[in-house]
Homo-oligomer: A and B are copies of this chain.
Amino acid sequence: MGGVAEVVVATTVLESKEWYLAAYVPENVPTSDHLKLRTTKVSLEHNLIPDQHVVLQTLLISVDPYLRSMMTGRVGDLYLPPLQLDKVITGFGLGKVVKSKNSNLKEGDIVVNPYCPVAEYCVVPLDFLQKIDPTPNIPLPNYMSSLGVPGFTAWVAIELIWNPKPESNVFISAAAGGVGMFAGQLAKLKGCRVVGSTGSDEKVQLLKEEFGYDDAFNYWKESDFDVALAKYFPNGIDYYLDNVGGKMLESVLNNVNKGAHIAISGMMSQYNTIPSEREGVNNLMNMIGKEVKMEGFLCGTYLNRYGEFAQQMEVYLKEEKIIAKHKINEGIESFLESFVSLFSSSNLGKVIVQVAK
């Protein structure tokens, strides 16, 4: 039992396809010139220090708009750490442990991975992994939506930043998107009157019939947002969750009530534009007389409240008080197409890439 050479490990090497950034994308949507797929090898033993790393097989990857701001090659925009050229892209994902020397995580366990490479397999540090116990009530894609970044972002806005009174008038843009879908439902559970804007008639119907929005409109069909908002908010807007920025934000500022509170979680209309060509908001002066508060936020700042959120959201999901809608694309190859689709109003629900079942 004493010799050092006694145990010989047959190193298993897995082939793993991964997406990497081949060129920065200063403006417009990325193409296959910018995001490319390649095959790498992941060793099941390599770097596997006990209690520090595990090998994961990626099951699901959340496709989120914020990633766009990390591809520009500029510091700024959302001030998130820029992606590096030739390095694998990292997002939010769900994986299965395929190799572990850690006593708390065994092979077959399912974990949420907030720094998930967009790759089929990966060796990752344990620090940020969160083990989940799948239940029949909560299908796995929910960990990328209702219980993931979009759901948590929505909850931070509604619960922590606003905590609105019943009957408040709430407006949500990109309302059928990842964040909007949950924000509207959470605001309805608070007793608010909720109206959403979205990019297709099909999604208008979805908002009203499935997510319980009081009203909704297709912004492509409105020639004047000022007029549209005045029509949908005869009593003015008390709360606005901004996911788009630009002209919609400007029109909201023309329709706010005294003391209105605007939370900005994203500005999708501006992500594909270089800073000097972004739409200016020229009526910020309205904020004085109407005493408007506007604040940008990142859900990561509120991670200490994630547990409380998850507990509440799980109850809502089990009681079917909140529903999640997913657009699941199969195979890691679909990542680029999935990402580009975020900017085309074409999706119903949260976009997820299913890398493996």
Contact = CB atoms under 8 A, between A and B. Distances in A.
Interface of A: 69, 76-80, 245, 249, 254, 264-267, 270, 275-276, 278-298, 301
Contact of A290 (B79, B249, B281, B282): B79
A288 B275 contact: no
A339 to B, nearest CB: 19
A258 to B, nearest CB: 8
Nearest to A301: B291
A207 B252 CA distance: 38
A285 B249 contact: no
Given A278-B282, A282-B275, A289 B245 contact: no
B298 A284 contact: no
Contact of A289 (B77, B278, B295): B77
A288 B265 contact: yes
Contacts of A264: 284, 287-288
Contacts of A280: 279-282
> Majority SS of interface residues in chain A?
loop
User: Which 6 pairs across A and B sit closest by C-beta, in order of nearness?
Assistant: A280-B280, A79-B289, A287-B296, A288-B296, A78-B289, A280-B282
Contacts of A282: 275-276, 278-281
Given A245-B285, A275-B283, 13 more contacts: A69-B289, A249-B284, A266-B288, A275-B282, A276-B282, A278-B283, A279-B282, A284-B296, A285-B296, A288-B297, A291-B301, A293-B293, A293-B295
Contacts of A294: 284, 287, 293-295
Nearest to A292: B296
20 contacts: A76-B289, A78-B289, A79-B289, A79-B290, A245-B285, A264-B287, A266-B288, A278-B283, A279-B282, A280-B281, A280-B282, A284-B296, A285-B296, A287-B294, A288-B296, A291-B297, A291-B298, A292-B295, A293-B294, A293-B295
A281 B284 contact: yes
A78 B296 contact: no
B290 A296 contact: yes
Contacts of A292: 295-296
A75 to B, nearest CB: 10
A41 B114 CA distance: 76
A136 B283 CA distance: 45
Given A279-B280, A280-B279, A291 B285 contact: no
Residue picked from A276, A280, A298, most chain B C-beta under 10 Å: A280
Tell which of A76, A288, A291 has the most Cβ of chain B within 10 Å: A288
A78 B270 CA distance: 28
Nearest to A266: B288
A251 B276 CA distance: 12
B284 A267 contact: yes
A297 to B, nearest CB: 5
Contacts of A278: 282-283, 285
